[in-house]
Amino acid sequence: MGAPLVTVAIVARTVAQLWGKPLLGVNHCIGHIEMGRLITKANNPTVLYVSGGNTQVIAYSQRRYRIFGETIDIAVGNCLDRFARVIKISNDPSPGYNIEQLAKRGKRYVELPYTVKGMDVSFSGILSYIEEAANKMLSADQCTPEDLCFSLQETVFAMLVEITERAMAHCGSQEVLIVGGVGCNLRLQEMMGVMCQERGAKLFATNERFCIDNGAMIAQAGWEMFRSGQVTQLEDSWITQRYRTDEVEVTWRD
Amino acid sequence: MATLQLLRGAEMLKQGAEGRVYRAEFLGKPAVIKQRFPKRYRHPELDEKLTHRRTMQEVRSIARCRRAGISTPVVYFVDYSCSCIFLEEIVDSQTVRDFIASARRSSSRSDQELQRLAELTGRILAKMHDEDVIHGDLTTSNMLLRRSADSSELELVLIDFGLSYISALAEDKGVDLYVLEKAFLSTHPNTEPLFQQLLGSYSASSKKSSAVIKKLEEVRLRGRKRSMVG
Ligand SMILES: Nc1ncnc2c1ncn2[C@@H]1O[C@H](COP(=O)(O)OP(=O)(O)OP(=O)(O)O)[C@@H](O)[C@H]1O
Ligand SMILES: [Mg+2]
């Protein structure tokens, strides 16, 4: 990921100088959140950010998006992708999408490790269990690939909904916004919706156009930053793969 | 059945993540009933397993803590048929979360009081870990504070043991502290020195703390090293 980031940074700096436009360095996750807020009109939601590289439960307070919960090992999207490889599910158009479709035809619920620690989750246990057991169970006809997809989704999504609900109870929040690539999964959205209904809260989600990484979301976050008076000086512009959500001072919200 | 009837007339105190907490009386004593109702968002088989396991763990760990002299509410009665636990109500208490928030708002209450609280919390968590109880959901909402009857000393009461389990591993204890650290610092911005004090007190009180703190540092580092891409 380093090389593409370096390349794009050079393009951005070049374009900024060519056209005399201000340059703004944007945090990727903040882009997801601000795009989600723009599209759904969610005001002050508890945010579940779920993608191939990230799993975080975030809420805003005192000028920062604060991380209340996150994965303590691998991201949920990573867990899904690696599971797909274990039982040889196609990458086309994406492993996550194919798991979602297969899961619809799953019938048997296979119990898998369920690891929630307060507002944090862990997926590495599920993955190693599946790596160990999946192909044995399939060849012994104990379950079908569809059953495994179904059971995996039911388990990991229940964990995600649980930590989101815990953060809401802790923060007294009545709104949820789901962002990030895994956020397009309709089963995850459905489960989150049921949880929200049970506590009289409101769910905000978007479809794949906005959930999946896109340029517009970076522009939207940059626009918010710019409106609040921020610009990045050319000599201060940099890239990093380890830019945590809570490192950014949110100057555009009260 | 009788329990559910009782809940119908009871005042709901809170809808937590795990369940609902109602105010009640048990044989004339002030009590709360914590009901883990079925969560319709998750698969019924998974829901039943989690609910049963957590009700059981909560009762077990509370008993273990109380035996070791750690303040937690007394369990009066458990109705497994509806996953309801009758607990002693910690009357005239407030959550540590509310205590910290109001202490930081008011200038009259000194930093000293917060420091005493951090010191007390560290000491009690160390004692709990020395009993090999891993709380599993340490936050400032899951700790209650009350002034003891005879003096003005603060007493810390640990609650909400649904995610708890028994383990002697330093890794499990380190993660327990890591979960608290994140919840603490995100709930109470700019309190790093206070949390450091809590850890200091933890280290000073527990015989096995150095391995635990080392694990805590390891888990933190894993978080920081993780790429934020995607
Ligand atoms: N014994 C008690 N005495 C007084 N108040 C209590 C007692 N037990 C719980 N409460 C209150 O109810 C709230 C929720 O209780 P508890 O944390 O046990 O429920 P929960 O549903 O497991 O919460 P969580 O959202 O953390 O999962 C507490 O934060 C506290 O304010
Ligand atoms: Mg609680």
Structural domains in chain B, CATH included, are: 1-88 (3.30.200.20), 93-223 (1.10.510.10)
Q: Parallel, antiparallel, or unpaired for β B11-15 and B20-26?
A: antiparallel
Q: Which residue of B has its CA nearest to A72?
A: B223
B68 CA from centroid of ligand 2 (Å): 22
B16 CA from centroid of ligand 2 (Å): 6
Q: Which residues of B fall within a CB distance of 8 Å from A187? A: none
Give the distance from residue B48's alpha carbon to the nearest chain A alpha carbon, in angstroms. 12
Could you check whether the bond before residue A93 is cis, i.e. omega within 30 degrees of 0? yes
Interface of A with B in 132-161 (CB under 8 A): 154-155, 158, 161
Question: Does residue B34's CB lie within 6 angstroms of at least one atom of ligand 1?
Answer: yes
Q: Which of A26, A11, A8, A67 is nearest to A221 (CA)?
A: A26
Among A29-33, B7-11, B23-27, B215-219, the least confident range: B7-11
Burial of A19 from C-beta contacts in 10 A (0-12 / 13-18 / 19+): exposed
> Taking the model in full, what pTM does it have?
0.93
Give the distance from residue A231's alpha carbon to the nearest chain B alpha carbon, in angstroms. 23
- 0.90 surpassed by complex ipTM: yes
What token pair was written down for B100?
């910290």
- Beta-carbon contacts below 8 Å between A and B: 123
pLDDT tens sequence across B83-123: 999 999 999 999 999 999 988 888 766 788 899 999 999 99
Interface of A with B in 45-104 (CB under 8 A): 51-54, 59, 61-62, 64, 66-70, 72-73, 75, 77
Query: Measured between CB atoms, which of B138, B219, B224 is closest to A118?
Result: B138
Q: Which residue's C-alpha comes closest to atom 2 of ligand 1?
A: B89
Radius of gyration of chain A (CA): 19
pLDDT confidence band for B7 (50 / 70 / 90): confident
Q: Which residues of B fall within a CB distance of 8 Å from A217? A: none
Q: Which residues of B are catalytic?
A: 137
What does each of the 254 residues of chain A score in pLDDT, given as a tens digit? Answer: 688 889 989 999 999 999 999 999 999 999 999 999 999 999 999 999 999 989 999 999 999 999 999 999 999 999 999 999 999 999 999 999 999 999 999 999 999 999 999 999 999 999 999 999 999 999 999 999 999 999 999 999 999 999 999 999 999 999 999 999 999 999 999 999 999 999 999 999 988 888 888 899 999 999 999 999 999 999 999 888 888 899 999 999 98
Q: Which of A18, A57, A15, A78 is nearest to A215 (CA)?
A: A15
What token pair was written down for A190?
């459905």
